[in-house]
Amino acid sequence: MSKLSLRKHILTVDVEDYFQVSAFENIVDRASWDSLEHRVEHNTHKVLDLFNEHNAKATFFVLGWVAKRYPSIIKRIVDDGHELASHGYGHQRLTTLTQQQAFTDIEQSKQILEDTSGQLITGYRAPSFSINSSNTWIYDILKQLNFRYSSSTYPINHDLYGEPSWPRTAYQTKQGILEIPVSTLKLASKNYPIAGGGYYRLLPYWLNKQAINHFVKNEMQPYMFYFHPWEIDPKQPRFKQASNKSKIRHYTNLNIMEGKIVKLLECFNWQSVSDAYQEQITSNNLTKEIQCG
C-alpha cells in the first residue's frame, strides 16, 4: 500500500501496563502491582517489531516503574533508533499530587531512564495529559530538571483531563518549555479528539481515517498519534470489579487494534517528537540555559 502523505507525522507510545491506567486507579492497589501478571515487556517488544516492519520511528514515553523492572525495553527502544522520553514514575495524575510529590515522581523517572539508557532525557508526557490550569507550576519543575519539551495537554473536554481553550499547536511556555499538544480536529468552535488511544480503538477506522486526513490536509503542523502497548493485547487479565464505563473504555476492540495500527503504519510516514520539532526544541530558552551552565 502506498503512503497517502509524504509529510512525516509523529508517532508516540505511552509505555505502561494494563493495570496502571487511570481508569483502574480506584480498584487496583498500587501495592499489588508487583504481584499482578506483567505484560508490558512482551507487548512493547511486539510494538517495536511492528514499527521495524514498517520503517516507522516513534517517541516512547516510558514509566520509570516499568523501566526499573524491564531495562530490556529501554535497550531495545534505543537500539532500534527511537526516542526515549519520560511518562513519570508511577502513573499518578499530576492533578492529584503536591508540588513536592510531582517533583519526586518526575525526577525519579528521569534518573532511571537516563541511568538505564545512558542518554539525556529531554521529553515528558504527564500521565493522562494531566497538566491543566490548576498546575502550570509543573513547567517550573520540568525546567528545573532540564526537560526541553512536554506533550502533556489535550485541548478537549474529558472527565479525567483536558483544557479545550488551550492552544492546539505547539507553543513555548513562559518557563521555556515547548508544549506540544496532541492532535485535535477543530470543527466550528469545538475541538474533537483524533490523536489515537481509546478514541481510535473504539471508533470505526473509516471515521478515524477521515478525521486524520482532514487534519493532514488543513493543518500546517504534523499530526500526532498515541497509543499504549496494552491496547494490542486482547488476552490481558480483566478486572471484573471495574465500572461499566471503564470496561467499555479499556476492553472494547482490543482484538482489532493491532490491525488498525498496522493500517496507520502503512498509510503514513512516522517520526519522533524530537525529530519533528528539532528546531523549536533546540532553539528555546531552556536549551540556552543548559548550554550556559
What is the structure's pLDDT at 6? 60
Residue 162 and residue 131 in contact, taking contact as beta carbons nearer than 8 Å:
no
Rounded CA gap, 130 and 87, in Å?
11
Among 66-70, 186-190, 237-241, the range scoring the smallest mean pLDDT is 186-190
CATH homologous superfamily of 8-291: Glycoside hydrolase/deacetylase (3.20.20.370)
CB count within 10 Å of CB 49 equals 12
CB count within 10 Å of CB 193 equals 21
Rounded CA gap, 242 and 196, in Å?
23
Domain residue ranges of the chain, discontinuous segments joined by +:
8-291
Q: Which amino acid, one-letter code, is at 104?
A: T
The mean pLDDT value for 180-206 works out to 92
What is the structure's pLDDT at 291? 27
How high is the mean pLDDT of the chain?
A: 92
Closest CA to 159 of 251, 246, 244, 250: 246
- The Cα diameter of the chain in Å comes to 54
pLDDT per residue over 220-279, tens digit each? Answer: 899 999 999 999 999 999 999 999 999 999 999 999 999 999 999 999 999 999 999 998
Residue 22 and residue 55 in contact, taking contact as beta carbons nearer than 8 Å:
no
pLDDT per residue over 123-175, tens digit each? Answer: 999 999 999 999 999 999 999 999 999 999 998 877 666 688 899 999 999 99
Residue 60 and residue 47 in contact, taking contact as beta carbons nearer than 8 Å:
no
Give the burial class of 91: count Cβ atoms within 10 A of its Cβ; 0-12 exposed, 13-18 middle, 19 or more buried. buried
Q: Could you tell me the pLDDT band of residue 287, with boundaries at 50, 70 and 90? A: very low
Rounded CA gap, 137 and 37, in Å?
36
Residues 6 or more apart from 211 whose CB is under 8 A from it?
185, 192, 194
Residue 182 and residue 209 in contact, taking contact as beta carbons nearer than 8 Å:
no
What is the structure's pLDDT at 165? 84
